[in-house]
Structure formats: C-alpha cells, structure tokens
Amino acid sequence: MLSKTMQEALNQQVFMEAQSSQAYLAMASWAEIQPGLKGVTQFFFRHSEEERMHMLKLIHYINERGGFAVVPALEQPVLTFVSLKKAFEKLLDHELKVSGSINDLVDLSLKEKDYATHNFLQWYVNEQMEEERLARECNDKLELVGDDKSGLYLFDRDIMTMDQD
C-alpha cells in the first residue's frame, strides 16, 4: 500500500512524464516542418511515445499498489525553436529535471522504507542514465557540427542509430 505522500509524489512524476511526452511531441511537430529533418522528426516522435509509456507504467504501478493515479492537465509546451541546437539543449535540460525528480522519489521511497517502490524506481534510474547520455551525445555532436549543412545532414541521418547504442 502506498502512503499518501508517496502517491502524491508518484502522481507528480506522472505529470512530469506526460509533460515530457507533450514537449517532445511539440519538438517533433516543429522538426517535421523544417526542411530535411526527417530523422530528427522520427527521433522526437519516438521519444514522445517513450515518455507516454513511462507515464503509463507509473499509472499502473500506483493503481496496483492501492493508490489512485491521476491523469493530469498539461501545460502548453514550447512550440517553436530558433535552431535545432536549441531544441536539443531543451531536451537535455528537460531530461536533467526528470532525473532529479526520479532521484527525489528514490530518496522518498528509502525514507518511507517503501522498498517495493524503491525497487520499481530502479528501472527509471537506469532509463534516465540512458536518456541523459543520449541527450548529451546529441548536443555534443551538434556542437561539433555548428552551422555546417553537410554536418546537419549527417546528424539527421545518423540520429536514429544513435538512439540504439
């Protein structure tokens, strides 16, 4: 059984995962209307779906542990970006915030001696390590590329394989 505090904290994470999905969906929509960014578009659409799956996993867990998962109202995400680099900087910033939130949940689970939730959250800890690595790698590559159009072409082509490493 989840404590009221833990249920509220997990529901806040449901909100954060839903916001992530919406933010990446907005990035995908923006990328889709930029010339030549088919790979980046697919990357953002896929990440939007992944975040939605993270949200659903939390919802099921809360409900299975005797709590009540709340489907949150969402804020309007940023819709446009001045550059691809800025979009990926936003992606990294967002993933760092999600990691911080997951770490806070892990800390709470240990303080409450809720070892089932602690165990459940380890999947998210590992997932966030991977998400941060990927976001940093994308930002590093975009930093190397700068404004070079052939480099952006190669980045767009290669981004889907970066996601599989």
What is the DSSP track for 24-77? HHHHHHHHHTSTT-HHHHHHHHHHHHHHHHHHHHHHHHHHHTT--PPPPP-PPP
User: Per the annotation, does 128 bind a ligand?
Assistant: yes
One pLDDT digit (tens) per residue for the chain, 165 residues: 999 999 999 999 999 999 999 999 999 999 999 999 999 999 999 999 999 999 999 999 999 999 999 999 999 999 999 999 999 999 999 999 999 999 999 999 999 999 999 999 999 999 999 999 999 999 999 999 998 999 999 999 999 888 654
User: Per the annotation, does 17 bind a ligand?
Assistant: yes
User: Per the annotation, does 137 bind a ligand?
Assistant: no
pTM of the model: 0.93
* Residues 6 and 114 sit within 8 Å (Cβ to Cβ): yes
User: Per the annotation, does 54 bind a ligand?
Assistant: yes
* Residues 51 and 20 sit within 8 Å (Cβ to Cβ): yes
CATH no., domain 4-161 = 1.20.1260.10
| Domain regions of the chain by residue span | 4-161
